[in-house]
């Protein structure tokens, strides 16, 4: 049995110093993510927003012959908030761009259609050849324990490809994950989207060309849609991608709840986490994808959500830990849909999933009941605190929809709209 006795945990949130994005814990026992989060309460956000207005000013089209910017969107996450800021506050004319991840929920299709209608925006959707997507997913599952590579690769590259093709230099993204989670950068660094960050962190070092097979399983035509444009193409257009979270005090929970009230954004309860707002457009992200995260890294999405809520002072650390224990080992739902889509049986899928159990966090890899030694089982907590597992009133989430469909669950591959 191998246990993880060397992981050091932040004394404020629930992250450990072996976080896959990289995290530093200082001499006071506070992690870099929490330290950067402190900037949210010290920066002058009025000045930051005025700086944002200056940055976007040169991109406004005087003759209105082209779009002012591109916004990557989906039927979940922070798309509504970003479009609201960009169109209604910054007064830009955006082109919305979305990648069809093929794991779409009816709720996500509804949210995406509602987004387009409520904001009266043009939208382009990338529908990659589904046969190529399935080949890639089989490969990344078997070789990397990743069913979501094509989704992240597509979501992060298609907007850049469209920017080059339509000669729209400005792309506006929401939050920078490395800054928000682990304090990789200060807000004042004003870090922008880059090929390097995408490869090293979004894709965990696996680029499209790394998938090409000597046996011809995955060919050039299968990966071409996932390639980042070359430097010359980017330079000719002057493509840059800015993150709103560097200029606006980012609070996903508050932002989502504002969008629920203003634009009828729909949400859903998840069994594996407390958050009802993120990734309601996908059957797999909070389920199979999240289970693999637990297997490989010793923690799952509920730790991300709870740590965020702790930083925003809506949960105590002990409350957060109890909520992690409650949700972390809930069964992944909708695996039957994934098996049907990919053409595998659940027994084979579970065998593959178990091979990716990290021996740093699990006794052994092949049995479903192997003992867990991940973050939640070894996290150091103050035993003198007897906090209740009851979710604080400020941290409750609004549920006004359902992930699945009353007429039976199925992936919605291409959505024409929604009544």
The DSSP code sequence of 265-293 is: ------SS-S-SSTTTTBSSIIIIIHHHH
Q: Where are the beta strands (DSSP E) in 244-353?
A: none
Beta strands 122-126; 94-99: pairing state: parallel
State how far the Cα of 15 lies from the Cα of 23, in Å rounded to an integer.
8
Q: Provide the pLDDT for residue 379.
A: 63
Contact in structure between 82 and 71 (CB atoms under 8 Å): yes
Q: Degrees (nearest 5) of the Cα angle 19, 25, 26?
A: 165
Tell the residue number behind the tokens 């949400």, with chain if given: 267
What are the backbone angles phi and psi of residue 4, rounded to the nearest 5°? Answer: -100, 85
Handedness of CA 291, 414, 417, 170 (dihedral sign): positive
Chain length of the chain? 419
Q: Provide the pLDDT for residue 216.
A: 72
- Assign domain 45-246 to its CATH architecture: 3-Layer(aba) Sandwich (3.40)
Please state the domain extents for the chain: 45-246, 268-395
State how far the Cα of 98 lies from the Cα of 44, in Å rounded to an integer.
33
282: β partners: 104
Q: Provide the pLDDT for residue 387.
A: 45
Q: Provide the pLDDT for residue 2.
A: 43
Residue 336, number of CB atoms within 10 A of its CB: 12
Q: Provide the pLDDT for residue 62.
A: 86
pLDDT tens, the chain, 419 aa long: 344 457 899 999 999 999 999 999 999 999 999 999 999 999 999 999 999 999 999 999 888 788 999 999 999 989 999 999 999 999 999 999 999 999 999 999 999 999 999 999 999 999 999 999 999 999 999 999 999 999 999 999 999 999 999 999 999 999 999 999 999 999 999 999 999 999 998 998 999 999 997 677 899 999 999 999 999 999 999 999 999 999 999 999 999 999 999 999 999 999 999 999 999 999 999 999 999 999 999 999 999 999 999 999 999 999 999 999 999 999 999 999 999 999 999 999 999 999 999 999 998 755 556 778 788 876 665 544 444 445 555 569 999 998 876 545 777 766 444 43
State how far the Cα of 223 lies from the Cα of 216, in Å rounded to an integer.
12
Q: Provide the pLDDT for residue 63.
A: 82
Q: Provide the pLDDT for residue 119.
A: 96
Q: Provide the pLDDT for residue 386.
A: 44
State how far the Cα of 68 lies from the Cα of 166, in Å rounded to an integer.
11
Q: Provide the pLDDT for residue 416.
A: 45
Q: Degrees (nearest 5) of the Cα angle 226, 74, 296?
A: 65
Q: Provide the pLDDT for residue 411.
A: 75
């Amino acid at each position: 049995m191998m246990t993880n006795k060397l992981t050091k945990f932040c004394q404020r949130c629930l992250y450990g110093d072996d976080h896959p994005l990289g995290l530093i814990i200082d001499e006071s026992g506070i992690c870099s993510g929490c330290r950067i989060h402190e900037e949210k309460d010290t920066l002058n956000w009025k000045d930051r927003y005025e700086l944002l207005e200056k940055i976007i000013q040169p991109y406004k089209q005087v003759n209105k012959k082209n779009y002012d910017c591109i916004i990557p969107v989906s039927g979940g996450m922070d798309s509504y908030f970003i479009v609201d800021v960009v169109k209604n506050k910054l007064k830009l004319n955006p082109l919305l761009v979305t990648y069809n991840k093929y794991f779409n929920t009816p709720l996500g299709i509804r949210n995406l259609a509602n987004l387009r209608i409520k904001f009266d925006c043009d939208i382009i959707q990338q529908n990659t050849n589904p046969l190529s997507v399935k080949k890639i997913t089989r490969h990344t599952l078997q070789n990397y324990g990743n069913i979501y590579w094509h989704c992240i690769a597509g979501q992060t590259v298609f907007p850049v490809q469209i920017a080059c093709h339509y000669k729209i230099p400005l792309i506006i993204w929401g939050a920078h994950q490395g800054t928000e989670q682990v304090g990789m950068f200060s807000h004042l660094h004003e870090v922008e989207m880059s090929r390097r960050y995408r490869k090293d962190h979004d894709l965990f070092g696996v680029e499209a060309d790394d998938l090409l097979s000597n046996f011809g399983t995955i060919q050039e035509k299968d990966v071409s849609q996932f390639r980042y444009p070359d430097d010359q193409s980017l330079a000719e257009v002057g493509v840059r991608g800015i993150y709103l979270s560097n200029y606006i005090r980012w609070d996903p929970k508050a932002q989502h709840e504002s969008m629920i009230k203003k634009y009828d954004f729909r949400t859903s309860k998840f069994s594996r986490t407390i958050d009802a707002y993120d990734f309601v457009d996908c059957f797999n992200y909070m389920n199979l994808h999240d289970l693999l995260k637990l297997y490989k890294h010793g923690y799952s999405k509920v730790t991300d959500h709870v740590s965020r809520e702790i930083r925003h002072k809506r949960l105590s650390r002990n409350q957060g830990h109890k909520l992690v224990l409650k949700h972390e080992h809930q069964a992944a739902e909708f695996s039957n849909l994934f098996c049907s889509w990919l053409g595998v049986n659940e027994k084979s899928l579970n065998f593959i999933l178990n091979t990716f159990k990290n021996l740093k966090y699990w006794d052994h890899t092949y049995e479903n009941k192997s003992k867990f030694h991940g973050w939640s089982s070894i996290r150091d907590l103050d035993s003198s605190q007897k906090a209740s597992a009851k979710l604080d009133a400020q941290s409750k989430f609004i549920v006004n929809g359902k992930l699945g469909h009353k007429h039976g669950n199925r992936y919605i591959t291409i959505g024409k709209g929604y009544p």
